[in-house]
Structure 1
């Protein structure tokens, strides 16, 4: 690489604009796929063919852009390899979207008459064919929408990265440079910027309560306040609690927060153990245990307790008025009750059977239990949605609750279904996680996870009869979400690391941590099935 090269000498504004247009076009086609009427028949054929041709055209346009960028001076910019690799993978993803629509066309039953002419029950046969095809068609269009959304995201973020890397920075600006913070201060300011934060007194000490449960220390709060990044009304007695807001200067500091990026990725020896499970160019086993990493799929990430700021209990107390029925020191046990007493949430890490979490509802009775290694984000997805399910709509605009059916969520996440003697089993794309729905007069859900039947990788979740589908759907929606979760490397179960996509926020110009992770996911999706170890 030429050390004297400066990114200001490269003008790629036209290509950046084209990539942004591609991102918009991919997103527009995604919207059409989401809203597409999948009723089988001739109408679907006529409406789906233009979508199929457009998906092919977008893949071809993206391939042309990758070719052009690969022959441009942009290749000299540090970090351009990761950008080009992400776009290269997106070509395959766009082709998968076109293939999904093509498979829908192939599965769509058409009008016509069998050999020998119309039969007595021709209409009944046609209705049966249409009923059987309907869920298959819906699944294909959901997969197409998922692949198109990923293409749109990659094009958008790569365009942003290229523009950032190749735009000269003015020598003088009207405003002074925003204050620089350390990592803990940035995390605290981000949590406070979400709104709903309060400065309170608990046990005669100042306490900062945030909407998402992120822990903000008094030291971080005072340092941010001293820098003029926060506002709270000092005239309000502290015992009554003060609302905390982030000032304009605070939002500017967040807008200029340094972006985590990655060094060039070296190609691993495919014959070496753990090849492919690399993070920012370094094998997992060469990272320090305390390194923060992004992990997907989520079911492989481990519990995350002590490794993430996600709080499954705090928001219920601080924002929804749930009361503590029982609490032991040092976090050994906590039992919370809803304001009306309908629901109890019990966290007990001392249980010998390993079932650390229990959610119980009375009248009608139902119960959900989760073992030790269940990802805490999946549990928090339920606990933070419980107030809405009980009619408390405060913060409903910030706490999403899915209204989709379990089958819809599972299919959209690429999970496969199999009918069994006892009911239905859904299996994750990598084969490590299953969701079994037992039929009969008392249907129940049982989730099971394990990698190579290895110690410390397994977890389970059980939902008894009468558990509302919204509860199980909320849990499934978290598991199928392809966005990574944050962990310290040492918190990811050792035997699960070879099966997970793991990336580490390090430094390489212009490309954010989540887009690098998305590129790694694209590579996994484009690989032939069977390249990752399968579950026994």
Structure 2
């Protein structure tokens, strides 16, 4: 039918204008579904109320993630409950934190923790960020000076991680992490923060900043859908693999016992 746009691959499908943006830290918030759909595919529970902010909870109910753009300053809040290994922790990320960088932290919540000790500074050093030590503050700054990662130690010895990005017009975002946050989450965040790969935004969602570089690209709706689906499929596959591994672990053998009235066998 003429004039009707198809949703699949085809000659009638119309390309849409998007832009690749560098540096990614100044690309603006982006589509929150980049974060939420991955979590849903990883079997996180939807806790959002109709018309309210996004709220999701981990399968074990230990971590809750919210995104609220309706309050000031608004943005992302990640809260982890205390357990036998970690104290209660939190992270606050501003509304304009690119979703690709937010996903560095939130995606890591769905994966097993690496056996290697986390190194938050390694991804930054690999991308030639400038590091300096001032008093008890250790700061790494991106080569163009627009983004930073800082370790701050207060006079009472409490540590705090702080990050963010800002252009010369003052537009940007900040993120703070509790001293008790698991360090592998901060490392996952810093890896996405430092990544040189551009991120994509649709026409009309490109920040007005003299410090970004953009490349115009034509993208078919079906291409966008396929890229988004690939990320969701990867989350589902990883979740299935983890659950399968748990279900195939050998169970501890039950203690042998005698009939009622008999003596219990001990080992």
TM-score of the aligned structures, taking structure 2 as reference length: 0.69
Q: Is the 8 A contact 2:26 2:172 kept in 1?
A: no
The 5-angstrom pairing of residues 388-399 of structure 1 reads 388-389=111-112
Q: Does 1:417 align with 2:143?
A: no
- 1:282 counterpart residue number: none
CA deviation string 1:441-473 (max 9, x = no partner): 32111112111143xx21111111111121111
Q: Does 1:339 align with 2:59?
A: yes
- Tell me the distance in 2 between the aligned counterparts of 1:338 and 1:434: 29
Q: Structure 1: where are the runs of 5+ without partners?
A: 1-181, 187-222, 224-259, 261-289, 392-401, 507-536
Q: Does 1:450 align with 2:151?
A: no
- 1:357 counterpart residue number: 76
- 1:408 counterpart residue number: 122
- Tell me the distance in 1 between the aligned counterparts of 2:8 and 2:133: 51
The 5-angstrom pairing of residues 88-103 of structure 1 reads none
Rg larger for: 1
Deviation at 1:340, TM superposition (A): 1.4
CA deviation string 1:316-335 (max 9, x = no partner): 22x33222233232xx3121
- 2:8 counterpart residue number: 185
Of Structure 1 and Structure 2, the greater helix share is in 1
Change (3 A) 1:425 1:322: same
- 1:296 counterpart residue number: 22
Deviation at 1:500, TM superposition (A): 1.6
- Tell me the distance in 2 between the aligned counterparts of 1:422 and 1:340: 37
SS in 2 for 1:381: helix
SS in 2 for 1:474: helix
- 2:248 counterpart residue number: none
Deviation at 1:300, TM superposition (A): 1.4
Deviation at 1:345, TM superposition (A): 0.5
- Tell me the distance in 1 between the aligned counterparts of 2:7 and 2:97: 26
Change (3 A) 1:379 1:405: same
- Tell me the distance in 2 between the aligned counterparts of 1:184 and 1:300: 31
- Tell me the distance in 2 between the aligned counterparts of 1:505 and 1:326: 34
Q: Does 1:487 align with 2:201?
A: yes
Q: Is the 8 A contact 1:328 1:334 kept in 2?
A: no
Q: Is the 8 A contact 1:449 1:459 kept in 2?
A: yes
The 5-angstrom pairing of residues 228-307 of structure 1 reads 291-305=17-31
- 1:314 counterpart residue number: 37
- 1:386 counterpart residue number: 109
1:464 to 156, 172, 178: 178
SS in 1 for 2:19: strand
The 5-angstrom pairing of residues 4-43 of structure 1 reads none
CA deviation string 1:339-358 (max 9, x = no partner): 2111001111112223x210
Of Structure 1 and Structure 2, the greater strand share is in 2
- 1:167 counterpart residue number: none
Q: Is the 8 A contact 1:422 1:439 kept in 2?
A: yes
How many pairs are equivalent? 204
- Tell me the distance in 1 between the aligned counterparts of 2:193 and 2:147: 9
Change (3 A) 1:383 1:185: farther
- Tell me the distance in 2 between the aligned counterparts of 1:467 and 1:413: 24
- 1:324 counterpart residue number: 46
- 1:437 counterpart residue number: 151
- 2:217 counterpart residue number: 505
Change (3 A) 1:327 1:505: same
- Tell me the distance in 1 between the aligned counterparts of 2:137 and 2:100: 28
SS in 1 for 2:122: helix
Q: Structure 2: where are the runs of 5+ without partners?
A: 219-267
- Tell me the distance in 1 between the aligned counterparts of 2:45 and 2:215: 39
CA deviation string 1:448-504 (max 9, x = no partner): 2111143xx21111111111121111111111111111112421221x2x2122111
- Tell me the distance in 2 between the aligned counterparts of 1:370 and 1:427: 18
Deviation at 1:291, TM superposition (A): 3.1
Higher RCO (C-alpha under 8 Å, 6+ residues apart): 2
- Tell me the distance in 2 between the aligned counterparts of 1:185 and 1:442: 54
